[in-house]
Amino acid sequence: MNLDSHKGPVFGIRHLILKDSGALPFCHPGISFLKLSFIIKRHMFPIYHLISSIVPIIMLFPIYKYSSLLFLVGSYLIDADHYLWYILRYKDISFRNAYKESLLKKNGRLHIFHTIEFWILIWILSFRFEIIFIVFLGVIFHMSLDLLDMKIKGYFNARSLSVIKYIIDNI
């Protein structure tokens, strides 16, 4: 089905977008009440992770009080590994250059906090430490947004999701 010629809602997991409105259909295909066009049309900038984290933090606040702010560590500060990767790869500490390079979406990147091994580690630690559990929830939230964004925009393989796979692919 050609999305450009289709005027109504598009059904199926591969076509989550209502072409005309840029919104995602929830509940009923004709009712689109959650506008996520900023994610679909542009890069997943860190500010979008920050803004999108507000609602989950509000939901966690009655249970965890101010500890719910640790959700930001997982959902926002996890992107520090983009900068770390840039420093190690290019031996340059410029935020501006790192930011420009991150927009290129090249294949073969290893962002250590975005790997399955890191997720497993913090998941295991979350059984022992409640504060790590809140961080873990933030990581899951962040990665859900990232994976959806990468799938929709067609650069799903731009980063390695496993340290082991990265090592195998680059030896």
SS3 7: coil
Q: Give residue for tokens 């506008």.
A: 35
Please give the pLDDT value at position 163: 87
Does residue 110 sit in the same domain as residue 149?
A: yes
Residue-wise pLDDT for 55-88, tens only, equals: 899 999 999 899 899 998 888 888 888 888 889 8
To the nearest 5 percent, what fractions of the chain are helix, strand and coil? 60, 5, 35
Expressed as residue numbers, the domain containing 4 is 1-35
Residue 118 has a pLDDT of 94
Q: Which residues contact 100 (CB under 8 A, 6 or more apart)?
A: none
Residues 71 and 150 in one domain: yes
123: Cβ contacts below 8 Å, ≥ 6 apart:
136
How many separate domains does the chain show? 2
Alpha carbon distance 120, 135 (integer Å): 13
51 and 14 fall within a common domain: no
Do 104 and 161 fall within a single domain?
A: yes
For residues 87 and 4, state if they share a domain. no
Same-domain status, 76 and 152: yes
Amino acid symbol at 40: I
pLDDT of residue 117: 94
pLDDT at 18: 35
Q: What is the pLDDT along the chain (171 residues), one digit of tens a residue?
A: 444 444 444 433 333 333 333 444 444 444 343 444 444 445 566 777 788 888 899 999 999 899 899 998 888 888 888 888 889 889 989 888 888 887 776 667 788 888 899 999 999 999 999 899 999 999 999 888 888 877 777 766 667 788 888 888 887
* CA neighbours closer than 13 Å in the CB half-sphere of residue 68: 14
* pTM (two decimals): 0.67
Q: How far apart are CA 106 and CA 110, in angstroms?
A: 11
Structure tokens at 105: 């979406």
